[in-house]
Amino acid sequence: MGSQEKINVVVVDDIDESREMILRMLQFDSSIEVVGTGRTGIEAIESAQKLKPDVIVMDINMPDMDGITATEAIRKKVPYIQIVVLSVQNDANYMRKAMLAGARDFLTKPPMIDELTAAIRRAGDLAHEEKLKQTPIFQPNAMTGPLSPQMMMRMPQMIMGKIVCVYSPKGGAGCTTLATNLGVGLKTQDNKVAIVDANLLYGNVAVFLNEHGKNSILDLIDRANDLDPEIIEDVMVENKLTGLHMMPSPKEPELNDAHKGEPVSKVLTYLRQIYNYIIIDTTSYLTEVVQACLDISDYIVLITTQDIPSIKTTNQFLTLADASGIAREKILFVMNRYDKRIAISPERVGESLKQPVLVAIPFEERIITSAMNRGVPFMVDNKLAPAGKAVVSLVEVIRSRIQKDQENPSL
């Protein structure tokens, strides 16, 4: 947004004192101009259509129509208008409903002045960009000048990153441990890496990275056809220690993922434009979401361990994969918690399942358990340990496979 372009705002709250307090806060920011006020959800919709503001700051609880219903109506009628919802209750369910309705931000009342103005500025930037999208930019005179630096920064750079799904048909095989450490291994100064927790029931990626997130991939499902980099940025949590970007699992376990597979695929496809690598951590159950993740992935890191039940379920999965048309070349077979004292060797398992084990990750309980409990991937400070070297080998396998596939795209 150019510095000369003000953000036009409408403030809607049925309580006079609250509305006046918001107005007083906004008068100190020269980039924000209040163009209207309202007391009800109906008035908010009318103001949206009549005044065409960039941002509406609206209370969630109003007598005639709640803020969530009003938000949904406004976003349908004037899609570029961004809504900042206010609520006296810091309730995760309220927040999720507001975001699914199309709200741009959710703040607890009374908000801090810096928090409120920052939210409005972010929303205002997005509103101005959405307006520009409605103009065909390749037509003569469609724009008065070049894209602003802010616009350029927010536009996807069409990286076309690779999606790597980490999966095991047997629970407890170490998918989350491998997913987080693989992410660290793939992360370089030139590569952006995202980890998506697709275990909607009991996902633990956030715990393994010692992070907390208020949103998850579920908050993007209803907006899967209307994504932009800033929406993604709001859901992602950056782990400062590793540089990884994480999309955590839902705070409340999601028991039903029916009809969520297709929108999840769209979200993951969009992430390709922003990240060089997207690592997906999954549950062992072949839910609709997990199947969608497996289908869209460029590579599947399939994990087994040195026990008969794990090998049996892995064999069953490979049979299903063959029947589903998943190419064996797409599968990178890994044996986790490898103990050379056990007679079941990686070579024997590979021969038996007709799928070679590419990497065996040694069982190092002390290092791995300590890293897990600290929320720090062992690749951060134990990269030269046997387990760390094995992850480095897997990284090399992935990069080699990518190069091979690029050189022989028909294979």
SS3 (DSSP) at 71: helix
Q: How far, CA to CA in Å, does 142 sit from each of 2, 38, 125, 137, 148? A: 17, 34, 19, 5, 15
In sign, the C-alpha dihedral spanning 376, 378, 383, 389 is negative
Same domain, 99 and 166: no
Which residue, 122, 150, 178, sits at the end of a domain? 150
Same domain, 19 and 59: yes
pLDDT in tens, 143-183: 334 444 444 444 444 457 899 999 999 999 999 999 999 99
Which residue, 105, 121, 150, sits at the end of a domain? 150
Same domain, 120 and 142: yes
pLDDT at 133: 58
Same domain, 209 and 341: yes
pTM above 0.75, yes or no: no
**45 falls within a domain:** yes
**1 falls within a domain:** no
Same domain, 252 and 329: yes
Same domain, 169 and 299: yes
Same domain, 43 and 119: yes
Q: Using the structure block, give the residue that is written with the tokens 């049979």.
A: 319
pLDDT at 159: 58
SS3 (DSSP) at 168: coil
Same domain, 237 and 118: no
Same domain, 368 and 388: yes
Gap between the Cα atoms of 333 and 348, Å rounded: 13
Note whether 375 and 204 are within 8 A (CB): no
Same domain, 47 and 102: yes
Virtual torsion, Cα 168, 169, 173, 176, nearest 10 deg: 50
Closest Cα to residue 398, out of 171, 179, 175, 159? 179
**54 falls within a domain:** yes
**90 falls within a domain:** yes
Q: Residue 296: which CATH number?
A: 3.40.50.300
Query: Which residues of the chain have a pLDDT value below 70?
Result: 1-4, 133-159, 409-411
How many other β-carbons are positioned within 10 Å of the β-carbon of residue 194?
23
* Residue ranges making up the domain that contains 49: 7-150
Same domain, 92 and 144: yes
pLDDT at 4: 56
**155 falls within a domain:** no
pLDDT in tens, 112-130: 998 899 999 988 988 888 7
Note whether 304 and 310 are within 8 A (CB): yes
**157 falls within a domain:** no
Q: Residue 68: which CATH number?
A: 3.40.50.2300
Note whether 391 and 334 are within 8 A (CB): no
**214 falls within a domain:** yes
Contact residues for 347 (Cβ-Cβ < 8 A; gap 6+): 357
Number of domains in the chain: 2
The string of DSSP letters for 320-349 reads HHHHHT--GGGEEEEEEEE-TTSS--HHHH
Same domain, 144 and 170: no
pLDDT at 141: 38
